[in-house]
Structure 1
């Protein structure tokens, strides 16, 4: 499929700024976008990020796209990011052809038309790099890039370094657009070294792999406290994000006819098995931190769970608070325990995004989440939808202006501080 055809793929829905809710107009230009992405086509990977990307890029360039997956990184005929930025293109076009998907220096202009002040920029291409590190030894994708598991993990580390070098350069375009760069190492010392390098180069948000214990330790282990302190002291947002499964859930669980034949969107599988639990790894990571006292020891640690759906966070808080209410579970034999219910730490320290089709109003009414849930455009990904502002606003508007302002502006500032 040629580049020109990819440009016009999708529903013929035009954005109309005048159709945006009047109630949001006072906040126009102040919106906080907690999830957006780069989406460089494979044609640019080696050019933008160096020779380490060549083998990974060639893998995708050797695959043809049938046009149904607008996340597909192979865009035949692609030369550069030059689609005009307009109210129509920023909501209608998806995937690598969208304006400012590849050339991040153009992204502030896109944000201006969306009413967005600041934005977290998560990996798309970078998820491919991380996959080389954390996918199980027998995973079908990894084996096509490197034969042995050890070679693949070594290549993955090389890719992550190249990706982060690119992200450091991108961060210099504008403080309004903040790349969220992966920090991975088999050791805490390695994590500390890479985190310091990123911080010293202006990075203000990092991505941790949900399916890997950071530095080989439980996220709640005291040995990681220097890492959390480094994040806290520098106002760096620590984020988990949807991605492929990692080493906790292997694909054999989904080896059944009911789960075959679904479209792969680049970030995650969309079969019923995968979509039912793609939040599970991050939920496990977060509850380990909460119950392990990380947020008690680091009260200013900024933490986000991004693009995992939002339906799980309320029940998690309810479940954790139930166990906290039992004296037997409150203090262990070493005297360790939490002075506040677990939900206290979630509401203070954690921000969560969902998809535009979710019932945010019901989540907010059933659970006390008005300080937790945040707006996210997911630009330029397909699953971000074409009218996310309208859909999300209509869901939460009945709860009043205070909740609307928190959702679209105030809560996001925790992950996007001045």
Structure 2
């Protein structure tokens, strides 16, 4: 097992990881996900020939298989599609054992991520798919085909073990469509689903009552509802905001650009989604609903809780509405920060001072550990970095961050 920091060592074998990934090389996608993903293979392979490579490159022409040694000394520094257990999910148990992780969510990297980005992005962010055999105007339809292909693969992987849980993107033109797709996946063993943060779920507000059957399904089955980075500029209708010389030349990853404008706006789509859920009474109506927000940084959740509490405490409207507990009024029965603490989990990046966030805003039940394995955004030795930030707060806070907070999204 990895030599965990002394303050984290008591949690070995109990840690929860709310954001990891599969990272199957593009050369294997047709074999793994089916013929429907071939245009995406062609695009990714062609793009890799014209861009600088990094560990997140998904095109590995000379891939020799998932043969990397699961070594305690390198388990947190190995990155990319050649990292051990990035491709062969039957090896993921051994990897997690060496990491000291009991359970983890596993998001897509290949067709599932590609489909999510296409589905979520504004038109000016769409790839030109016509040259890969996708008819003009069919980008959204193709995005859905990619996500469906990923989800079929995920159902098979979910049957391997309950310790690592593939997350499936879900979508629908109506709340009924969204419910039907999600219900089918849950019935087949899926324990976590993903919505696109900048899009209206089922074509309606996240707070709309027509989504109540969808939320009730997730709550009853203890299925986590997640928001994960990927194609978030639809919130603005365009990402031309960063089309300026000052924002050129920065690092890019398959999920996100690292220029200053993108990083400053990265959290706005999930922040809007979360605020809509909270202020719209969704957690009042569905107190057992579990929501995770991953790879959007965590700096925003504390200020949002403060802002919503201010709204709540000073709401003087005279027009009452009924709440789930039978009361009437315009203020929710609980303060927004209480719903956030009870129902929402947010994962910081390893470079964020999560200990200082807790000192400033509280919300010690909200922040939780995520490795992003094997993506480079997860950083090197993230456990050690988080431990350094949290050490001054003591054992109880440390245990919440590394173990118990994540259990909300990884329920037994």
TM-score range, shorter chain: over 0.9
Structure 1 unaligned regions, length at least 5: 1-15
Structure 1 counterpart of 2:35, from 26, 51, 54 = 51
Is 1:283 equivalent to 2:267 in the alignment?
no
State the superposition RMSD in angstroms: 1.8
1:130 aligned residue (112, 116, 141): 116
Equivalence for 1:3: none
Mapped pair 1:114 → 2:99: yes
How far apart are 1:327 and its partner, in Å?
3.0
* Alpha-carbon offset, residue 406 of structure 1: 0.6
Deviation of 1:92 after TM superposition, in Å, equals 2.3
1:394 aligns with 2:381: no
Separation in 2, partners of 1:131, 1:400? 39
* Residue 14 of structure 2: aligned partner: 30
What CA distance in whole angstroms lies between the structure 1 residues aligned with 2:142 and 2:248?
29
Of 387, 397, 400, which aligns to 1:406?
Answer: 400
Cα distance in 2 for residues equivalent to 1:71 and 1:202: 29
* Deviation at residue 150 of structure 1 after TM alignment: 3.5
Partner of 1:175: 162
Deviations 1:50-102 (A, max 9, x none): 00010100111223166542211111201321112111342222111111111
Counterpart mapping for 1:89-104 below 5 A: 89-104=74-89
Among 44, 60, 63, which residue is 2:44 paired with?
60
Partner of residue 263, structure 1: 251
Q: Tell me, what secondary structure is at the counterpart of 1:121?
A: strand
Q: Does 1:349 align with 2:343?
A: yes
Q: What count of residue pairs does the alignment treat as equivalent?
A: 402
Asked if the contact 1:134/1:247 (under 8 Å) is kept, the reply is yes
Deviations along 1:109-158, one digit per CA (max 9) or x if unpaired, are: 10000000000001211110122222222325255657766311111111
Which deviates further from its counterpart, 192-201 or 247-256? 247-256
Question: 2:147 aligned with 1:141, yes or no?
Answer: no
**Would the alpha carbon gap of residues 151 and 26 (structure 1) be closer, same or farther in structure 2, given more than 3 Å must change?**
same
Alignment of 1:197-346 (within 5 A): 197-249=184-236, 250-328=238-316, 335-346=329-340
**Does structure 2 conserve the Cα–Cα contact (< 8 Å) formed by 1:146 and 1:152?**
no
**Per-residue CA distance 1:228-254 (angstroms, 9 max, x = gap):** 001001000000011122422212111
How many Å separate the matches in 2 of 1:204 and 1:302? 11
TM-score, length of structure 1 as denominator length? 0.92
d(CA) in 2 for partners of 1:394 and 1:333?
Answer: 47
Contact kept, 8 Å, 2:2 with 2:75, in 1: the verdict is no
Q: Secondary structure at the match of 1:373?
A: coil
Q: 1:227 to 1:394 in 2, by over 3 A?
A: same
Counterpart in the other structure of 2:54: 69
Task: Say if 2:116 and 2:231, in contact at 8 Å, map to a contact too.
Answer: no
Contact 1:34–1:353 (Cα < 8 Å) also in 2: yes
SS at match of 1:206: strand
Q: Distance in 2 between matches of 1:333 and 1:302?
A: 25
Q: Is the 8 A contact 2:116 2:230 kept in 1?
A: no
In structure 2, do the counterparts of structure 1 residues 315 and 286 end up closer, same or farther at CA, with 3 Å as the change threshold?
Answer: same
Matching residue within 147, 154, 168 for 1:160 = 147
Contact 2:233 2:239 in 1 (8 A): no
CA distance in 2, matches of 1:70, 1:330: 57
